[in-house]
Amino acid sequence: MDIVEITAASKICWQVLVGCLIEDSMPEETIHVCLLMRQFWPTLAGAAERMRRYAPGLAVRGVRMHVICFWREGLPKTERLEDGTEITRVERTGTPQEDDVSLFVQAESCLRRLPAGRRVLQTNLLGSHTVKNISRMAGQGIPVVYLGTMNEVESTKAGMLRRWLSAWRLRQLFRPFAAAVVGSESMRQWLVKAGVATSRVHQIGHGVDLSRFRPAADAGEKVELRRRLNLPETAWVVLFVGTMTERKGAHLLVEAWSRMQKSGTQGVLVMLGAFDRPTVVKNDQREELGVFQENLRRLMAPLIASETLMHHEHTSEIELWMRASDLLILPSSKEGVPNVVLEGMSSGLPCLLTRFQGFPEDELGENGVHYQIVERSVEGLEQELLQFQGDEVRLSRMGASALARACEHFDLNLTLDRYAALYRCLVHAG
């Protein structure tokens, strides 16, 4: 039996959304989106960074961003970016749950200052401790949008009662939301299977600026980039982008690379990502992460000393590193639709990926053609890297296929059009 009820408001929303997608003229009124996230620029958290990059294009489409996030030492409490995005940073003063609530309190203050009838609240926070705040704002006629990042799929080993309770809880958490935006079919199915109305789940693919993320124009540009980045001009360069955490598989990759170097493999592994993980706030998680990263640093040290591994915590020019590399690898255990993979494919890089939880196969294309699935183990990574290193034809063919898929499916403008249309749909329906 179909448990989804399509309301009259959702039908209106769909009609307005279709109309907005067709209409090509500039919007008459500015829509104000209060974006509530724990982390934002300059912290490179995936979903937050994605929305920051969308902000300039959304501004052109008449959508203005107001960001509420946590404050960090050395950052201003308020800031205005070049595209007009306003950032308000809130100090942590209590438990993680109390701190989250303080973000919503600040968001309510922000929303009160914005024009009625043109306000949207968007957040990736979902929890029982925030339902009251979200319900209160929804009750004031403010559409609240959930920004999906990962699907928390219940293990198939869990009992039927546990799975039912998990789905029931998810439906209750989503009750006050006007819409949920997800980046993949996998995430859409996760929510719909849990009983969230299909009319409220909107799949909008992640967009990439194809003018920024592109392959090197020729061999000369690649050599020049390597000189600029202090990379060997003729070495095989493998790129990893992500935080230094167990989930991202950094330890597995470093160990595999160490074994390859001992067996005589020539090349450089570039790791771009911070050890600092501000999203980890619980003491036990911090301690666990500290032990993991201490061991990881020990693994990395001899490789850095031998100049076969290069590590940078922060970079504002990720596209240059991609253009200068030969291959991208992401041995993660859990993702949504990872920005770095879309950007790597747009840069013409062959991408080696593990089949992480929530793998977006419909979006990324075909295994063995547009990317390559790798076993998530030291041995699996080592074996696949060695096979790719010696196969220039395979590298070139997969890189070209990845680029072609990116150009067809990841265009930033399509993503921005869909977000702008959804926001207008919601305020008009409300």
Q: Which residue has the higher pLDDT, 266 or 368?
A: 368
Q: Report CA 228 to chain centroid distance, whole Å.
A: 28
Least confident of 5-9, 33-37, 73-77: 5-9
Within this chain, do residues 53 and 180 fall inside the same structural domain, yes or no?
A: yes
Within this chain, do residues 359 and 420 fall inside the same structural domain, yes or no?
A: no
Residue 399 burial (10 A CB sphere; 0-12, 13-18, 19+): buried
Task: For residues 157 and 292, give the distance between their C-alpha atoms in angstroms, rounded to a whole number.
Answer: 27
| Listed residue (185, 293, 317, 186) closest to 239, CA to CA | 317
Q: SS3 for 331? A: coil
Asked if pLDDT for residue 141 goes beyond 90, the answer is: yes
Task: For residues 306 and 313, give the distance between their C-alpha atoms in angstroms, rounded to a whole number.
Answer: 19
Q: What percent of the chain has pLDDT over 90?
A: 64
Task: Assess if residue 355 is contained within a domain.
Answer: yes
Which CB contacts under 8 angstroms, 24+ apart, belong to 249-254? 249/330, 249/331, 249/332, 249/333, 249/354, 249/376, 250/296, 251/292, 251/295, 251/296, 251/299, 252/331, 252/376, 252/377, 252/378, 252/381, 253/329, 253/331, 253/381, 254/296, 254/299, 254/300, 254/303, 254/309
Structural contact between residues 330 and 253, judged by C-beta atoms closer than 8 angstroms: no
| Listed residue (384, 327, 324) closest to 354, CA to CA | 384
Within this chain, do residues 366 and 223 fall inside the same structural domain, yes or no?
A: yes
The pair of three-digit structure tokens given for residue 424, joined into one six-digit string: 């207008």
Task: Assess if residue 3 is contained within a domain.
Answer: no
Within this chain, do residues 92 and 141 fall inside the same structural domain, yes or no?
A: yes
3-state secondary structure 339-380: HHHHHHHHCCCCEEECCCECCCHHHHCCECCCEEECCCCHHH
Number of domains in the chain: 2
Within this chain, do residues 348 and 243 fall inside the same structural domain, yes or no?
A: yes
β-bridge partners, 143: none
pLDDT value of position 11: 39
What is the enclosing helix (H) or strand (E) of 319?
A: helix 318-324
Task: For residues 204 and 182, give the distance between their C-alpha atoms in angstroms, rounded to a whole number.
Answer: 6
Within this chain, do residues 64 and 101 fall inside the same structural domain, yes or no?
A: yes
**What domain range includes position 235?**
219-409
Within this chain, do residues 393 and 297 fall inside the same structural domain, yes or no?
A: yes
Task: Assess if residue 199 is contained within a domain.
Answer: yes
In 6-34, which positions are buried (b, 16+ CB within 10 angstroms) versus exposed (e)? eeeebeebeebbeebeeeeeeeeeebbbb
Task: Assess if residue 1 is contained within a domain.
Answer: no
Query: DSSP label at 268?
Result: E
The pair of three-digit structure tokens given for residue 128, joined into one six-digit string: 């029982």
pLDDT value of position 220: 95
What is the tens place of the pLDDT at every residue in 344-355? 999 999 999 999
Task: Assess if residue 212 is contained within a domain.
Answer: no
Query: DSSP label at 337?
Result: S
Within this chain, do residues 196 and 262 fall inside the same structural domain, yes or no?
A: no
pLDDT value of position 279: 60
Task: Assess if residue 271 is contained within a domain.
Answer: yes
Q: SS3 for 324? A: helix
Asked if pLDDT for residue 7 goes beyond 50, the answer is: no
Residue 312 pLDDT grade (very low, low, confident, very high; cuts 50, 70, 90): very high
Residue 132 belongs to domain with CATH number:
3.40.50.2000
β-bridge partners, 372: 352
Asked if pLDDT for residue 158 goes beyond 80, the answer is: no
pLDDT value of position 24: 41
Asked if pLDDT for residue 373 goes beyond 90, the answer is: yes
Within this chain, do residues 198 and 310 fall inside the same structural domain, yes or no?
A: no
Q: SS3 for 158? A: coil
Within this chain, do residues 314 and 353 fall inside the same structural domain, yes or no?
A: yes
Q: What is the mean pLDDT of the chain?
A: 87
Within this chain, do residues 143 and 46 fall inside the same structural domain, yes or no?
A: yes
Task: Assess if residue 419 is contained within a domain.
Answer: yes
Residue 330's φ and ψ, nearest 5 degrees, are -140, 95
Within this chain, do residues 184 and 282 fall inside the same structural domain, yes or no?
A: no
Least confident of 4-8, 39-43, 60-64, 302-306: 4-8
Task: Assess if residue 111 is contained within a domain.
Answer: yes
What is the tens place of the pLDDT at every residue in 267-285? 999 999 888 765 665 777 7
What is the tens place of the pLDDT at every residue in 381-421? 999 999 999 889 999 999 999 999 999 999 999 999 999 99
Omega before 176 within 30 of 0, i.e. cis: no
pTM over 0.85: no
